[in-house]
Amino acid sequence: MALSVLFFFAAVAVGAQQTPLRSGCDIQDGIVARLSAGTPVEVQFRLSDGSDCFKISATVDGKDVLGYVPASALTGLAQFNEDRSSAPSMSATEGPGPRVADPYQYVMRSTDPALHRAADLLNSSPAEALEQLQAAIRRNPRDPDALSLAGLAAYRSDQLSIALDYWKQSLDLAPNQALAAVYDQVKREAAADRSGEKLYGAHVALRYEGEALPVETARAIVAALDDDYSRISAQLGCTSEERIPAIVHSRESYLSSTGAAEWSGGQYDGRIQIAWIDGAQLSPQMQRTLKHELVHACLMNIPSGSRPWPAWLQEGLAQKLSGETLPASVRQQLRQLAQTHAVPKLEDLQQDWSRMSTPDAVVAYNLALAAADALYDDYASYGIRNILTNPDTLPRITADLDVKLGF
């Protein structure tokens, strides 16, 4: 369900009459529209290239327009930046990998034990799963289910061309609308991806755009990811038999290759994908984004029982363990919204947040972080690792947290 509550982002507006909204940040770029003074705008993001340029959306003569303006053309930015700095990191999680059917849907109708073993390995050891599936394909090269699973294992191993080849073979044998959509999506991702340089750590394999990221910064990212994974895995109880693929894109490449929402700075789809906006430095905010996605990777390696880990738990733990905090004023606003049923209960939060608007995403992330705080407050003696080891306890715990949050 989509949330319909606007939250605490400050109002940003146009400051001067006939402000040109351009297709880019350069004064030579074409004019999309002219904005009147006082026109409210929604900030999409601020470029980090030193140009002090903002991508914004606005409504002009009843039509939505999107383009770029300099900071000097806007009012309300000081309060906006203050509010934004207190907001949680926004990171879309779309579940484990591209949206193919549940791997177990394939193995339920298969008599090949290799497919069953591979399905069990897909989350924790996709490369090993791929080896087993390749052996199964050699035995039966015309099994569309084995080919589809092999494509998913290759994708999670960050081998996009191999994934596409297996999926094409599967589709040629057995047309499948859902798989065809994934195939087209990953083809677009592969075409837009510019990340070719590689570095390896103890727990991660980093691929990055050499033009966007200096090698010294890439080494710092690998070191940070390795250190943070050790800390997070100790708290949650996950293990990594294989290196976790992590891809750092320029922001434009990230949005083009992932199709993520404008507000998204990172996502985990079986691989960590990050939009780099920090120039040559690994900033505290970027470190939080990396930690956030590591939590998703960690949770994906912990069996969740008959259904995926709920969205509130994934996003709440990802924020809490990456160091996000919720201001007291926001916590009180959430309680008021919960008491009037203006926000959904935790168990009713939709699983996919990747297409939420910015205001709706802020509400959802804040609610998840409040729930994670309450989880640590109320179940510290029981232990978070024990909860994750016993996923059947989550429905009862979720109901308890709903009461704690004011529902």
Report the CATH number at residue 40.
2.30.30.40
Residue 354: the pLDDT is 66
Tens digits of residue pLDDT in 230-251:
999 999 999 878 999 999 988 8
**Is residue 185 located within the same domain as residue 131?**
yes
Report yes or no on 182 lying in a domain: yes
- Say how far apart CA 62 and CA 339 lie, in whole Å: 35
- Are 17 and 28 in the same domain? yes
Residue 1 lies in a domain: no
- Count how many domains the chain has: 4
171 and 199 housed in the same domain: no
Question: Do 206 and 294 share a domain, yes or no?
Answer: yes
**233 within a domain of the structure (yes/no):** yes
Q: Is the domain of 270 the same as that of 363? A: no
Amino acid at residue number 222 = V
Residue 47 and residue 22 share a domain: yes
Q: Is 374 among the domain residues?
A: yes
Look at residue 95 and tell me if it is in a domain.
no
Three-state helix/strand/coil letters over the chain = CCCCCCCCCCCEEECCCCEEEECCCCCCCCEEEEECCCCEEEEEEECCCCCCEEEEEEEECCEEEEEEEEHHHEECHHHHHHHHHHCCCCCEECCCCCCCCCHHHHHCCCCCHHHHHHHHHCCCCHHHHHHHHHHHHHHCCCCHHHHHHHHHHHHHCCCHHHHHHHHHHHHHHCCCHHHHHHHHHHHHHHHHCCCCEEEECCCEEEEECCCCCCHHHHHHHHHHHHHHHHHHHHHHCCCCCCCEEEEEEEHHHHHHHHCCCCCCCEEECCCEEEEECCCCCCCHHHHHHHHHHHHHHHHHCCCCCCCCCCHHHHHHHHHHHCCCCCCHHHHHHHHHHHHCCCCCCHHHCCCCCCCCCHHHHHHHHHHHHHHHHHHHHHHCCCCHHHHHHCHHHHHHHHHHHHHHHCC
Per the structure, the complete domain to which residue 77 belongs is given by 12-86
Residue 266 and residue 344 in one domain: no
Give me the residues of the chain with pLDDT under 70, please.
1-11, 44-51, 79-111, 262-263, 278, 351-352, 354-355
Same domain, 74 and 109: no
Last residue of a domain, one of 53, 86, 119: 86
CATH number at residue 109: 1.25.40.10
**77 and 54, same structural domain?**
yes
Q: Which of 280, 300, 320 is the last residue of a domain?
A: 300
Pairing verdict, β 31-35 and 19-22: antiparallel
Same domain, residue pair 64 and 23: yes
Is 161 within a domain? yes
Q: Is residue 345 part of a domain?
A: yes
Same domain, 117 and 208: no
Q: Are residues 109 and 135 in the same domain?
A: yes
Of 175, 192, 209, which one is at a domain's C-terminal end?
192
Quick check: is 5 in a domain? no
- At residue 375, the pLDDT reads 96
